[in-house]
Amino acid sequence: HFADVARVPGDPILGLMDAFRADPNPARLDLGVGVYKDASGLTPIPRAVKLAEQRLIETEQTKSYIGGHGDPAFARHLLELVLGAGSALLHDDLAGATQTPGGTGALRLAGDFIARNLPGRGIWLSDPTWPIHETLFATCGLKVGHYPYVGADNRLDVDAMLAALEQVPVGDAVLLHACCHNPTGFNLSPRNWKRVLEVVKARELLPLLDFAYQGFGDGLDEDAWAVRLFAAELPELLVTSSCSKNFGLYRERTGALIVRAETADKLADVRSQLALLARNLWSTPPSHGAAVVAGILGDAELKALWADEVEAMRQRVTSLRSGLVEALRPHGLAERFAHIATQRGMFSYTGLNPTQVQRLREEFSIYMVSSGRANVAGMAEERLAYLAEAIARVCD
């Protein structure tokens, strides 16, 4: 009976959105949920998206179902965006994309695939990671383990990470953030990616690269560096790609699970299983967002406009990072928070503790995740002094 159903708490990150909206303080600042915001605090629809949508309204002929793998044009263009236009894998039919409802749908499909088709394999997540990773893979029935990523001193600890991966059972899956690690903003250097790759090869691990922020770190191609390295060097790989952030399509639920297999024939086998799993999850994927992405990436002018818009978002976040460190300098805190300028993507693990985060919220109406994660895109140039002052006060 429903009488036996207990109530569980909502998502703490999304809950911050409601708490912020309900805060009457005009000085309030939302550094919580990971959506990009412009200088006026709005999450804009990119102009390239608007133009592609207008074209779509004019030209779309039917709303009948699309296939289980989604729109083939979307898949083709997204594969080129992720793996590189000249990728030999595409030429040789060694990689394919299955359209999913957002990056989360891709993660769920990947988790179900591992649970169903690679029985006995656990999955290893960074500590910390995006909280949904924890619950999602457990829901798939996978055994979830953790490898260290950030030490108690709020520094990336690659040695500890590698030492842990060397202990992972042979053949297990390991989730790696392809760029712009959520929640920390700490990225692996190319040298350290190669060290991880060596362990992955030695223990025959199956990497699942979560690629939710392409374009927000160092650039669209630069951010794909690790994905392309792993895809070139390994016979088997899973990549979950999200169009939520870089196309601003959040609510349109647009993404894909990309599979790299050793032969074209094996790829077809795997894709048949993915279609079966997807059928039992969402049947066929939603069309609109993927059609917009295909319309943009398939048109040289729209693609150039979009790439400029992504670059503008990336540069805004990057300049807010160094701006905040400069704003902290008069408080004598520039060295202590120097990592904010070198982290990448939307998020920064500031190093602030839960008590300090709570004080920021109660005394200054500044909202961030209790782990000390701040969404840098939620800052604004003219608010950096206020934010720096508040941080200085709670660090006293």
Cβ distance to ligand PLP smaller for residue 102 or 372: 102
212 contacts ligand PLP (rule: CB under 6 A): yes
Please pick, from the candidates 104, 356, 365, 371, the single residue that binds ligand PLP as defined by CB under 6 A: 104
Cβ distance to ligand PLP smaller for residue 130 or 337: 130
d(CA 363, CA 185): 26
The CA distances from residue 174 to 2, 122, 276, 344, 364, in Å, are 38, 8, 23, 21, 39
Q: Which residue is nearest to ligand PLP (CB)?
A: 102
Shortest distance in whole angstroms from residue 7 CB to ligand TYF: 18
Please pick, from the candidates 19, 90, 132, 197, the single residue that binds ligand TYF as defined by CB under 6 A: 132
Cβ distance to ligand TYF smaller for residue 11 or 92: 11
Short-list 121, 119, 163, CA closest to 145: 121
Element (H, E) at 100: strand 95-100
Please pick, from the candidates 20, 29, 30, 34, the single residue that binds ligand TYF as defined by CB under 6 A: 34
- Part in contact with ligand PLP (CB under 6 A); list of ranges 22-30, 44-52, 99-107, 190-198: 99-107
| Contact criterion met (CB below 8 Å) for 257 and 109 | yes
Other Cβ atoms less than 10 A from the Cβ of 346: the count is 28
Structure token digits, residue 176: 């790696």
245 is catalytic: yes
- Which residues from 296-325 bind ligand TYF, rule CB under 6 A? none
Short-list 72, 71, 73, 94, CA closest to 83: 94
Shortest distance in whole angstroms from residue 113 CB to ligand PLP: 16
Please pick, from the candidates 130, 193, 211, 247, the single residue that binds ligand TYF as defined by CB under 6 A: 130
The active-site residue out of 124, 130, 193, 306 is 130
179 contacts ligand PLP (rule: CB under 6 A): no
Sign of CA dihedral 81, 85, 88, 90: positive
* Angle (nearest 5°) at CA 287 between 282 and 375: 85
Cβ distance to ligand PLP smaller for residue 172 or 210: 210
37 is catalytic: no
Shortest distance in whole angstroms from residue 201 CB to ligand TYF: 30
182 contacts ligand TYF (rule: CB under 6 A): yes
| Contact criterion met (CB below 8 Å) for 27 and 369 | no
Instruction: For residue 311, give the amino acid letter.
Output: E
Site string for ligand PLP, 129-148 (x = CB under 6 A): -x------------------
Short-list 99, 186, 96, CA closest to 373: 186
156: helix, coil or strand? strand
Cβ distance to ligand TYF smaller for residue 46 or 185: 185
- Part in contact with ligand PLP (CB under 6 A); list of ranges 102-110, 147-155, 195-203, 336-344: 102-110
Length of the chain: 396
d(CA 386, CA 382): 8
Shortest distance in whole angstroms from residue 298 CB to ligand TYF: 27
Shortest distance in whole angstroms from residue 186 CB to ligand TYF: 15
Short-list 220, 217, 211, CA closest to 318: 217
The active-site residue out of 71, 193, 245, 306 is 245
The count of residues interacting with ligand PLP (CB under 6 A) is 13
| Contact criterion met (CB below 8 Å) for 243 and 285 | no
Structure token digits, residue 184: 């920390």
Q: Which residue's structure tokens are 């609109």?
A: 288
63 is catalytic: no
d(CA 99, CA 76): 11
Instruction: For residue 83, give the amino acid letter.
Output: L
34 contacts ligand PLP (rule: CB under 6 A): yes
210 contacts ligand PLP (rule: CB under 6 A): yes
33 contacts ligand TYF (rule: CB under 6 A): yes
Quote the distance between the C-alpha of residue 73 and its chain's center. Answer: 23
Structure token digits, residue 63: 């709303």
Cβ distance to ligand PLP smaller for residue 321 or 383: 321
Catalytic residues: 130, 210, 245
Q: Which residues bind ligand TYF (CB under 6 A)?
A: 11, 13-14, 33-34, 130, 132, 182
Residues that bind ligand PLP (CB under 6 A): 34, 102-104, 130, 177, 182, 210, 212, 242, 244, 250, 255
